[in-house]
Amino acid sequence: MSDINPAPAGVSGISAEERQWAMFAHLSALAGGILTSGWAGSIGCFIGPLVIWMMKKDTMPFVDDQAKEALNFNISVALVFLALFLLSVLTLGIGLIIAIPAWIIIGIAWLVFTIIAGIKAHEGVAYRYPLTLRLIK
């Protein structure tokens, strides 16, 4: 009787199922941001990675690592957005001169890095986001 592996490992040795779940962990932040646009968008961005991490952390080490990375990145981005919002409020709107361009630049960077991370995870590569607070270890 032969031993059949239902999810053959890729070049990286990580199963196709693990790579797919890791990709979902990154891209679920994108879906959460789109579905909960506006102020709730920052919160919606880390709900998907959190759910996937909680579901798969004990059974899939690669998904555990990548979901934590996605969660940390999205929490970091949400904290920066919150800080820019507070700057705007505390300066009675004058801070919007800085906040609006920063929100646009950070939003574009968030989109690009999230897509890159999803592609890398699907390839079985452990992606590390730049400038991310590692709050969840």
Among all chains, which residue has been given the structure tokens 């630049």? 105
Q: What is the pLDDT of residues 26-82, one digit of tens each?
A: 999 988 888 877 556 667 788 899 999 999 999 999 999 999 999 999 999 989 999
Q: How many Cβ atoms from other residues are within 10 Å of residue 98's Cβ?
A: 13
pLDDT-derived band at 12, boundaries 50, 70, 90: low
**Using the 8-state DSSP alphabet, how is residue 5 labeled?**
-
Q: Which residues contact 72 (CB under 8 A, 6 or more apart)?
A: 129, 132, 133, 134, 135, 136
- Residue 42's pLDDT is what? 66
Record the pTM: 0.86
Average pLDDT, the chain: 88
Q: Domain ranges for the chain, please list them.
A: 16-123
Helical spans, DSSP H, in the chain: 16-35, 40-56, 61-90, 96-123
